[in-house]
Amino acid sequence: MEHKSNAAVESNIAWRSILTVIILAVLFSPRNSFAQNMQPGPSDTVKVLQKTTYPKVVGYLSFILPIVTVSNTTTTNFSHATGSIGFPVGINVLYSARFGFSYEFTPTIKVSGGTSKTSNLLFDPGTMFRFDHGFTLITRLAFETQGRYGFTPVFNQVYARTKDVNYFVALSLPARFGNSAAASIGLNLQIGFTFN
pTM of the model: 0.76
For residue 24, the model assigns a pLDDT of 58
Helix (H, G, I), strand (E, B) or coil at 147: coil
For residue 77, the model assigns a pLDDT of 87
For residue 23, the model assigns a pLDDT of 60
Check: CB of residue 177 under 8 Å from CB of residue 150: yes
Using CA atoms in the order 8, 74, 136, 106, what is the torsion angle rounded to 10 degrees?
Answer: 60
Sign of CA dihedral 140, 143, 146, 148: positive
Domain tally, the chain: 1
Query: What CATH code is carried by the domain that includes residue 42?
Result: 2.40.160.20
Residues of the chain with pLDDT under 50: 1-4, 32-49
Dist. CA 145–CA 148, nearest whole Å = 7
* E strand residue ranges, the chain: 56-70, 74-76, 82-86, 89-94, 99-112, 115-123, 126-130, 135-144, 149-161, 165-172, 175-177, 184-195
Question: What's the domain range around 78?
Answer: 2-195
